[in-house]
Structures are given as structure tokens and as C-alpha cells.
């Protein structure tokens, strides 16, 4: 083998590099990275340590999995809370609308059941829309026209001129006890007279 002259500076630099690499090789993380760098430079090199799993990765992998599962669980819980709040708001709005229909539109229990059925069948979330649909399908009956009288008693006709007591009762809006008593006595005596016959 031929002899080569080496400068003392080169020897010191070489020794320092070997010591540095030796120190790196003692650290498991740095050792693995140096071996990976060697494998990247020479892919055909056989390095058994690289075939074994990284011990740091082995320790971190379960923690990483746990963190990912926890993140997913928190996201699912948040989505469930938001969904529950939306449903609660929707349900409260529906009940407010039904209360308004009961109060202002005279909605009865049978009508409410029919409106809820329409909402379910048609996928409608607004009771007022379902109510309008119900009214279109079942329009309210037109009131029966009355004649000038309201039956045999003829309540709509004004009292006759000879019914002075009845006129006084109407003028006092039923507050005159004397007139009320007088009319009551007359009605009782008339009924008793008819019962004796």
C-alpha cells in the first residue's frame, strides 16, 4: 500500500469528525437518522437496524392514535350538541307557531292533529304553511244566512210599542232590577197558568 502524507490539520479534522459521528451514533434518534441517511445515499446497503421498527415511533404511535381518537370524539360530541340545539330550536318554533294558531286562528285539537299529519307527510317544518295547506284543502264553511227573524222568539226584531217593560230593560242593559223582577213575575204567572190547563 502506498504511503500518503497527511497534514496534521487533516488528522485533527478527521479525528474530530470521527468523534462527532461516534457521539451521534450513541444517541438512538441521531443513530437512526444517520443510518437512514446512509440508506438514502446507498439504497442497496444492508442495515439491519432499519429493518426493525423505530423505538421512538413505537412509543409515540399509540399516543398519536389516542389523540386522533380523542379529537374525533370531541368533534362528534360537538356536532351532536349542535344538532340537538337545532332540533330543540326547531321544536320550540313549531310549538310557538301552534300556540299562535290556537290563539289567533281558533285552531282546535282536531285541526292541530290534521296540521301535524300534513307536516309529517309533506315534510313541512312550519305549522303556518301546513295550516294554509289545510285551509286550502278544507275551506271553512260559509255561514248560513239568516232571515230577518231568528226563530220563533224573533230576538232580532225590536220590541213592539206595547212592550214598554222590555224597552226599559234593553235601555238599562238588564241593570234595572224592578223591570227584571216584574218581567220574571209575569213569566212565572203565565207558565203557572199554562200548567193548570
Least confident of 9-13, 39-43, 90-94, 142-146: 142-146
Residue 28: φ, ψ to 5°:
-60, -40
Least confident of 115-124, 146-155, 168-177: 146-155
For the chain, counts of helices (H) and of strands (E): 8, 0
Would you tell me the crossing angle of helices 28-41 and 8-26 to the nearest 10 degrees? Answer: 110
Question: Which residues are CB-contacts of 99 (< 8 A; sequence separation ≥ 6)?
Answer: none
* Closest listed residue to residue 50, CA positions, set 65, 35, 60: 35
146 pLDDT exceeds 80?
no
The CA–CA distances, whole Å, from 179 to 28, 30, 156, 165, 184 equal 116, 116, 20, 6, 8
Give the mean pLDDT of 147-158.
53
Would you tell me the crossing angle of helices 109-122 and 127-137 to the nearest 10 degrees? Answer: 100
150 pLDDT exceeds 50?
no
Least confident of 27-31, 103-107, 169-173: 169-173
Q: What pLDDT is attached to residue 174?
A: 67
Distance in angstroms (rounded) separating the CA atoms of residues 24 and 35: 11
Q: What pLDDT is attached to residue 104?
A: 87
Regarding predicted confidence, which is higher, 30 or 155? 30
Locate the domains of the chain by residue range: 14-52, 70-137, 164-191
Beta carbons within 10 angstroms of residue 127's beta carbon: 24
Percent above pLDDT 70 for the chain: 81
Torsion, Cα 10 16 17 20, to 10 degrees, reads 180
* Closest listed residue to residue 95, CA positions, set 135, 47, 57, 127: 127
194 pLDDT exceeds 70?
yes
What tens digit of pLDDT does each residue of 55-92 get? 667 777 788 888 899 999 999 999 999 999 999 999 99
Mean of the per-residue pLDDT values for the chain? 80
Beta carbons within 10 angstroms of residue 125's beta carbon: 13
Helix (H, G, I), strand (E, B) or coil at 152: coil
For residue 181 the three cell numbers come to: 223582577
20 pLDDT exceeds 60?
yes
Amino acid at each position: 500500500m502506498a504511503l500518503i502524507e497527511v497534514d496534521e490539520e487533516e488528522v485533527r479534522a478527521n479525528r474530530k469528525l470521527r468523534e462527532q459521528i461516534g457521539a451521534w451514533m450513541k444517541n438512538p434518534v441521531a443513530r437512526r437518522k444517520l443510518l437512514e441517511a446512509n440508506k438514502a445515499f446507498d439504497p442497496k446497503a444492508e442495515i439491519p437496524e432499519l429493518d426493525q421498527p423505530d423505538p421512538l415511533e413505537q412509543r409515540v404511535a399509540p399516543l398519536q392514535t389516542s389523540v386522533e381518537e380523542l379529537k374525533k370524539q370531541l368533534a362528534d360530541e360537538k356536532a351532536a350538541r349542535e344538532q340537538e340545539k337545532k332540533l330543540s330550536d326547531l321544536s320550540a318554533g313549531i310549538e310557538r307557531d301552534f300556540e299562535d294558531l290556537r290563539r289567533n286562528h281558533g285552531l282546535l285539537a282536531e285541526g292541530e292533529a290534521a296540521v301535524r299529519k300534513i307536516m309529517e307527510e309533506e315534510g313541512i317544518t312550519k305549522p303556518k304553511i301546513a295550516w294554509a295547506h289545510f285551509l286550502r284543502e278544507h275551506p271553512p264553511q260559509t255561514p248560513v244566512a239568516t232571515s230577518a227573524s231568528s226563530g220563533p222568539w224573533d230576538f232580532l226584531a225590536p220590541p213592539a210599542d206595547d212592550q214598554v217593560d222590555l224597552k226599559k230593560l234593553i235601555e238599562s242593559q238588564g241593570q234595572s232590577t224592578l223591570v227584571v223582577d216584574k218581567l220574571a213575575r209575569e213569566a212565572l204567572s203565565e207558565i203557572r197558568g199554562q200548567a193548570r190547563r
